[in-house]
Structure 1
Amino acid sequence: MCCIKLGKLSMPFDFVGDIMHCQARIEVECRDVRDAEIIMAALMPECRYQPRTEVDIHRDKNRIIVFIDASDISALRASINSYMRWIYMALRVIGCVEECCNGSA
């Protein structure tokens, strides 16, 4: 259905004053643009301001890219886990809806 690649997980690599910044990029390659749009719509409400992380989500055709910038490694880990779970959940919902629709047709 889709390929999820945890790409360029970098830690720690940027020091600003006494604060350590950690970053990660999650790439999700979906089977088609429609699935990518559905997953993107599901993730956007979660992209609000968080005290210790900043998240940018972009779509390029059938690929979704999630950039996470966190103030520390714990915040980065928590954000990665959350976004991976939300992506997985959206994929499961897409699969269930398709299965239900195909079964009733």
Structure 2
Amino acid sequence: MNCVKTINSEICIDLDDINQAKVVYDSVSLEINTAPDYRSSMDIELNGKKIIINIHANDSTSFRASINSAIKWINLSLEINKLIK
């Protein structure tokens, strides 16, 4: 039986401009850096107008949960940014 030992992924999100990327990064980095990391961990980088999220998980369930959380936080940040413009 093949069992997943670990799952590692790098997700690169290319935003419209550097300012938007910085706002999203500042909003999301606190969430990522304080998220519980019992079975998975995430880190975030800002590279120009790109946000790079690295996910390291011990199983597929925690991997999926990490991706869902990151997407939720990014979408929320973008939606709030639209409202205040």
The unaligned stretches of length 5 or more in structure 1 are: 1-11, 13-19, 99-105
Q: Write 1 or 2 for the structure with the bigger share of strand.
A: 1
Q: Write 1 or 2 for the structure with the bigger share of helix.
A: 2
Count of matched residue positions in the alignment of Structure 1 and Structure 2: 80
Structure 1 residue identity aligned to 2:54: F
The unaligned stretches of length 5 or more in structure 2 are: none
Alpha-carbon RMSD across the aligned residues, in angstroms, is: 1.2
Structure 2 residue identity aligned to 1:52: R
Q: Equivalent of 1:29, from 14, 34, 44?
A: 14
Q: CA deviation at 1:25?
A: 2.0
Secondary structure of the corresponding residue to residue 37 of structure 2? coil
1 or 2 for the larger relative contact order (CA 8 Å, sep ≥6)? 2
- TM-score between the two structures when normalised by the length of structure 1: 0.71
The ranges of structure 1 where at least 4 consecutive aligned residues each deviate by more than 6 angstroms after the TM superposition are none
Q: Which has the larger radius of gyration?
A: 1
